Structure 1
Amino acid sequence: MKLLENKTAVIYGGGGSIGGAMGRAFAAEGARVFLAGRTPEKLDAVAAAIRSEGGLAETAIVDALDESAVNGWVDSVATQTGSIDISVNVISQDALFVPMLDMPVAAFGQAMEKVARSFLLTTRAAARHMVKQGSGVILQFGGSDPTNSTPNLGTVQAGCDLVEGMRRQWACELGPSSVRVVSMRTGGIPEGLPDVPDMAPFKQQMIDATLLKRAATLEDVGRVAVFLVSDHARTITSTQVNISCGALVD
C-alpha cells in the first residue's frame, strides 16, 4: 500500500516549483491532489505531469487572501472527497530585502499582513475539517533560523518567524484533535530558482554554505514532505524539520 493511499491533499501555490514538487510526490504515493493558485497555466502543467504518471490531480483558481474563496474551495473539496487530510501553503511572500532601518513602514505592514492572513485563512479552513475527523496534517515550508545573524533579509526572515509563531500556536490548539502541524526548513533550493545568469552566483552561495556541499533538490523536498504528512511521522508535530544539508545548524 502506498504511503498516502486514500488521502486528500490541498496545496496553495500548487503551480510553483515547491508546490509542484510536493504535489507530484503526494500523488505518486496515492494521494488525491488539489492544486490552488492564481496562474492557470502553471497549475495545469503540474496537474498534467501528475496525471501522466497515473496520479489524481485537480486545479482551482483560489486567492489565498480571500476568506470566502478559501473556505468555499476547501469545503467543496471535503464534500467531494470526504476528508481534508493534508494542507500545504507555499504561496510566495512579498520579499523586500531592505535593512530594517530603511524599511518603509507601509510596505513592511503589507508584507506581514499577507503572510499572516494567508496562513491563518488556509490553516483554519483545513483545521475545521481535520478537527471533526480527528486527524490531519498542516505542512508549512520555509521555517526560520533562530541563530540567524544575516543582515538585510527584510520581510523574508520576519515573515518566516511569523509563520513559525503561528505554527507553534496551531500545534498546541489542534494537537488534542490529533492534528499535526509541521514546518520544513531549508537553506534554499537552487533548483527552484530561475535559471538565468544573474542567479548563478546566488545558487552557488547556497551550495557553498552547506556542510554536505550540495543543496536540497525539489525531489528531496517532495520525498521529505511525503514522509512528514504520512502516518510514519505520526509522532512529529510542533517542530521544524531541517533539510538544509547543514546550511542551518541546530
Structure 2
Amino acid sequence: MRLASDRLSAQSPRMFRSNTVLLENKNAIVYGAGGAIGSAVAQAFSDAGARVFLTGRNRTTLEALAEEIRGAGGAAEVAVVDALDADAVEAHADAVIRDAGTLDVSFNAISLPQTGIQGIRLVDLTPESFDRPIATYPRAHFLTARAAGRRMSAQGSGVIVTITASPSRTATPRMGGMAPAWAAVESLSRGLAAELGPQGVRVVCINAAGMPETAQLTEVYGLHAAAYGISHEAFTARMTDLTVRKQLPTVAEIADVAVFVASDRAGGMTGAIANVTGGLFVD
C-alpha cells in the first residue's frame, strides 16, 4: 500500500525561502518524506538548520531527496519505514536517538491514493473504501506520535507536528472516510498535547487546504470535478473562490508554517490547530 503521494515534479522550482536557523541543532523525523508535502517540509526543516531523517516506503525517492538536501549543505539520513508498522516505527526512533542523541521534531505527512475514496457519496461508498483512510491516517499518526512522545518525554522537550485538511471542520460532500479520519487526527493531537505538555513536549496540528501544484490535489480535484460533471479547472476555480484571499495555499506556505510551529519561537503553541487554508474556513 502506497503511503506517500507523488513528489512534486522534478521540474518544479524550489519554493523554500527561509535561510534562518530556527531549527539549528534539531533532529527531525519526517514520515512520508517522499510525498509532495513531506519532501517540502523536509527541505524546509533542513534549510532552517535541522538534521532530517527521511522515512517512507520508496528508498529511491528518499535517496534522491537526501542527495538534494546534502547538495544544498544540509544533513539527511534515509530509512525505509512503514508508518503503520509499530515495531518498525519504534526501531527507527531508537536508531535516531542512538545516532543523533535526541529526537526534537516529528512530522507525519503520510497519505493514500484517493481514487475510490473521494468523489463518492457516503451512501454509495463501500464499507472497505470508508474504512481505509480511517484505518490508515489515525493509526499512522498514533504510532509515530507515540514513538516520538515516549522519547521526547524522556528528554524533556520536543515537538510533534501533524497535518490534516479543511474537510475535518467543514460540511464537505463526497469526502468518504477522509473527513472523519482527519477529525480523528486533530482529536488525537489535542489529547497528546494534554498528556505530554507537562513533560515539555508540544503537539501542533496544521490544517491545510488543497495545494494546486501537488499531484494528489490534481487527483482529488479531478475526482470531485467528475462527480459534479465539470472540468478540473472549474472545480479548482470554485474551491479557490471559497477562500478568503481567493488563493489556495501553496506547499511552500505549508512548509514555512511547519518550520515555525516546530521551532522554539512557537513555544506557546500546543494543542492547537494552525489554520493554513488561505481562509477556506475561518476560526
**1:39-72 CA distance string (max 9 Å, x none):** 1222122212211211111111111111111111
Change in Cα spacing, 1:104 to 1:67, as seen in structure 2 (3 Å) is same
* Residue of 122, 135, 138 corresponding to 1:116: 138
For 1:224, what is the secondary structure of its paired residue?
helix
1:242 CA drift (Å): 0.8
* Residue of 21, 24, 27 corresponding to 2:40: 21
Distance 2:239 2:215 in 1: 11
RMSD of aligned residue pairs (Cα, Å): 2.0
Identity %: 40
Tell me whether 1:175 sits opposite 2:197 in the alignment: yes
The 10-residue stretch of structure 1 (29-38 or 41-50) with the greater mean CA deviation from structure 2: 41-50
Structure 1 spans left out of the alignment, 5+ residues: none
* Residue of 57, 64, 72 corresponding to 1:38: 57
The 10-residue stretch of structure 1 (111-120 or 151-160) with the greater mean CA deviation from structure 2: 111-120
Aligned counterpart, 1:69: 88
Distance 2:235 2:61 in 1: 25
Distance 1:237 1:3 in 2: 18
Tell me whether 1:126 sits opposite 2:148 in the alignment: yes
**1:207-237 CA distance string (max 9 Å, x none):** 2221112221111111111110000000000
CA contact (8 A) 1:25 1:226 kept: yes
Tell me whether 1:7 sits opposite 2:40 in the alignment: no
1:179 CA drift (Å): 0.5
Aligned counterpart, 1:221: 254
Distance 1:146 1:3 in 2: 30
Aligned counterpart, 2:176: 154
Change in Cα spacing, 1:124 to 1:147, as seen in structure 2 (3 Å) is closer
1:151 CA drift (Å): 1.5
Tell me whether 1:233 sits opposite 2:252 in the alignment: no
Tell me whether 1:81 sits opposite 2:81 in the alignment: no
Change in Cα spacing, 1:133 to 1:243, as seen in structure 2 (3 Å) is same
1:146 CA drift (Å): 6.2
**1:80-125 CA distance string (max 9 Å, x none):** 0001100011100464123222332233234312223211111111
The aligned amino acid for 2:83 is: A
Tell me whether 1:243 sits opposite 2:276 in the alignment: yes
**1:1-31 CA distance string (max 9 Å, x none):** 7111110000110011100111011001110
Distance 1:203 1:12 in 2: 28
Aligned counterpart, 2:226: none
Moved over 6 A (4+): none
The 10-residue stretch of structure 1 (184-193 or 6-15) with the greater mean CA deviation from structure 2: 184-193
For 1:127, what is the secondary structure of its paired residue?
helix
TM-score by length of 2: 0.83
1:131 CA drift (Å): 0.2
CA contact (8 A) 1:94 1:155 kept: no
CA contact (8 A) 1:167 1:182 kept: yes
Distance 1:51 1:206 in 2: 37
How many pairs are equivalent?
Answer: 250
Aligned counterpart, 1:136: 158
Aligned counterpart, 2:241: 208
For 2:95, what is the secondary structure of its paired residue?
helix
TM-score by length of 1: 0.93
CA contact (8 A) 1:14 1:43 kept: yes
Tell me whether 1:99 sits opposite 2:121 in the alignment: yes
